Chain A
C-alpha cells in the first residue's frame, strides 16, 4: 500500500495550463476517485502520478519520497488503461506474465502469481486465449490481472469501464469494489461517470478545469456540495437550481424566488443579495413542504419503480421531481409541489456554499 502527496502540482502544454497548483493527500489504502467533466485534467493527473506525463510544477510524493523524476517502472504502481492495453499477439497467460519477466523473478514465482491472479479474477479457463477471443468484460479482468500480479502499492485506473456496455459496467463495478475490499491497496480511479464515483469511492475528488472543486466522501459531496458546480455535477437526476434574492432585515432575512411565496430564512444576517437555492429532485414533495408552488407537467420519464417529472413553473423555470409513489401523473396535469428549508442548499453569487445560512435555516 502507498500514500500519495501532491503539492502545488501543475501541468502546462505551452501557454495552456491543464492542471493548476493542485494539492491533495491520498491516504494509504483508500479508493480515491477523480471525477469531472471531459477535459478537466483528471486523466492527465493520473498519468502524471503514473509517470507517463512530466510534471511542470510542484511535487508528487509516494510514501514521502518525491517521485517527479522517477520513471514509471520505479514507482511501485500499476495501471489499467481505458483501452485495456492488452498485447494482442500474446495469450492471456503471457499478457499476465509479461511485466513480471522484466523483474529478476523465478519462473515458479511468476507462475504462482499469474495463477493466483487468474483465480481471483476467475479467468483460469481463458489463459490460452488471445485478447481478440475475449469479451469486453474478460479483457477488463485480464487488464486488472496484469496489475494484480505485480503486487503494487498503488493501482491506477483510467476510465476502465467506459468501453463496456451498461450491464457489464454494473457487473464490473461490483467486482472492482469486491477486489478493493480483498486487496486493500490504494487505488486511484478516473471516471467521468458519477455513479461509478459514488459507488466505488472512499473519497471523491471533483475536478474542473484543472482545479479541485471539492474533496470528500460520496455522502459529504452529495449532502453538502461545496459549490454550485459540485451540486450540479453529482446527483442524477440533476439538482434543481432556483435563483433567489435575500432581502429584509438581518434578524429575519426574506428569500424571494419566482413562482414561490417569499419565505423567511431564520437569522440569516446578510444584506440583500443574489443567491441560488438548490433542491434535489427527491426532496420535492407533492402537496406538501414548507415552500410550495404550482406547476404544469411537461414531461414524465417512466423509469420503472420511479418516474422523473418535469414541471414547468409559471415563470418558465423547470422543476425536476423524483416521484416514487403510486400516483399516475399525466402531461398537462397541474401539480402542487414544495420542499422544506432543511433540504435546501444555498449558494452565493459566486456559487460558493453558504454554510451559515443553511445551519441557521435548519
Chain B
C-alpha cells in the first residue's frame, strides 16, 4: 500500500486540487442531499428522519410534482430535437468551406453564451409580451398577436424557441464531426449519382451518429436541468397556470422559498434518476444506430 502510494505520489499531488474540490464541493453535498431526502428539514431546526415519506408524498399526493414533470418532459421532447436539428443545419451550412468561417462560428455561438443569462431571459419576456416585437412584426403582416408568455397554451413554446436559439455548443461539435467525414465518401457517392438528399441520409447522418449520440445525451441532460429562462420568464412562480413550472423551478421553490429542503433533496434525486434512466436508454439503443468506425467486433 505504502509502496503503491510512494510510486504514485506525484500523480496524486497533481490530482489533489480536483480531488479536494470533488470531495468537499461535490461528493459531500451529494451524500448530504441523499440523507436529507429521507428527512424533514426546514434549514432552521435539525433534520428529522422521515424514511420514504418525501418520496411517498411526491408520487402519491403532490400534483405539482406531476405537473412539473409534464412541463419538463414536454420541453425536453420539443427543445432537444429542435436544437439538434438547428445545430446540424447551421453546422452543415458552415461546413461549406467559407473563408470567414471563424467569424460565423463565433456569431452563431454567441447565443449559447448569452442564452442562459438573466438578461436574455428578460429580453425574451419583453419580445414575446403583448406589446413585444414579435406581436409588432405579426401586426405588420396583419396577424393579431397574443400574450405569448401569459397564455398557458403558448408560454412553454416561447422557451422552446429560446432553447432552440442556443444551438452553438452542439453546432460546434457537429461541425467538428462533419469535418471528420472523409470527402472522398461524398465524391464516390457523387460519381455513383447519389442525390444530396440521399447523401445526407445514407452518408452524413450515419457517419455523424456518434456525434449525434453525444449531443443527444448532453442536450437531453441540459434540457432536464433548464432553470434560468423558465425562472425569469415566469417570475419564479411557474406561472401562468403552472405552464412554466419546470422541474428545477419547482425544486428551487421548495428548497429556497418554502424551505422544505428535505423534500427538495428528494426531488433532486428523482431528477437524477430520471436523467440516468434516459441516458441509460440512449446508451442501450445506441448499438442499433450508432456506428463507430474504429470499434472491434
Residues on A lying within 8 angstroms of B by beta carbon are 50-52, 71-74, 77-79, 81-83, 85, 87-89, 98-99, 102-103, 130, 132-133, 146, 150
A74 to B295, CA, bound (A): 36
Closest partner residue, chain B, to A51 (CB atom): B191
Scan B174-203; emit 1 where CB is below 8 A from any A CB, else 0: 000000001011011111111100100011
- B291's partner among A73, A89, A103 (CB-CB below 8 A) is A89
Give me the 6 closest cross-chain CB pairs, A-B, nearest first. Answer: A99-B192, A73-B193, A89-B291, A85-B188, A85-B184, A89-B206
Q: Is the CB of B295 within 8 A of A132?
A: yes
Least CB distance from B87 to A in Å reads 21
Provide the residues of chain A in CB contact with B194, threshold 8 Å: 73, 98-99, 102
B207 at the interface (CB under 8 A from A): yes
Q: Is the CB of B192 within 8 A of A98?
A: yes
Least CB distance from B110 to A in Å reads 33
Q: Can you report 21 A-B residue pairs in the complex whose CB atoms are below 8 A from each other?
A: A50-B187, A52-B187, A52-B191, A72-B191, A73-B192, A73-B193, A74-B193, A79-B187, A79-B188, A85-B187, A87-B202, A89-B206, A98-B194, A99-B188, A99-B191, A99-B192, A102-B193, A102-B195, A102-B198, A103-B193, A132-B294
Q: Is the CB of B193 within 8 A of A88?
A: no
Provide the residues of chain B in CB contact with A132, threshold 8 Å: 293-297
Chain B interface secondary structure, helix, strand, loop or mixed?
A: helix
Provide the residues of chain A in CB contact with B195, threshold 8 Å: 102
Residues on B lying within 8 angstroms of A by beta carbon are 182, 184-185, 187-195, 198, 202-203, 206-207, 209, 291, 293-297
Provide the residues of chain A in CB contact with B294, threshold 8 Å: 132
Provide the residues of chain A in CB contact with B206, threshold 8 Å: 87, 89
Q: Is the CB of A99 within 8 A of B193?
A: yes
A79 to B188, CA, bound (A): 7
A73-B193, A82-B184 are known; give 10 further A-B pairs, CB within 8 A. A52-B191, A71-B190, A72-B187, A73-B190, A81-B184, A85-B184, A88-B293, A89-B207, A102-B192, A146-B188
Provide the residues of chain B in CB contact with A82, threshold 8 Å: 184
A133 to B293, CA, bound (A): 10
- A85's partner among B182, B209, B295 (CB-CB below 8 A) is B182
A73 to B198, CA, bound (A): 14
A150 to B293, CA, bound (A): 26
Q: Is the CB of A88 within 8 A of B291?
A: yes
Closest partner residue, chain A, to B289 (CB atom): A89
Provide the residues of chain B in CB contact with A85, threshold 8 Å: 182, 184-185, 187-188
Closest partner residue, chain A, to B182 (CB atom): A83
A77 to B206, CA, bound (A): 26
Least CB distance from A54 to B in Å reads 13
A154 to B194, CA, bound (A): 19
Q: Quick one: given A87-B185, A89-B207, A98-B202, are A79 and B191 in contact (CB under 8 Å)?
A: yes
A87 to B195, CA, bound (A): 16
A73 to B193, CA, bound (A): 5
Q: Is the CB of B297 within 8 A of A83?
A: no
Provide the residues of chain B in CB contact with A102, threshold 8 Å: 192-195, 198
Provide the residues of chain B in CB contact with A50, threshold 8 Å: 187, 191
A122 to B288, CA, bound (A): 30
Least CB distance from A110 to B in Å reads 13
Closest partner residue, chain B, to A146 (CB atom): B188
Q: Is the CB of B191 within 8 A of A78?
A: yes
Q: Is the CB of A87 within 8 A of B203?
A: yes
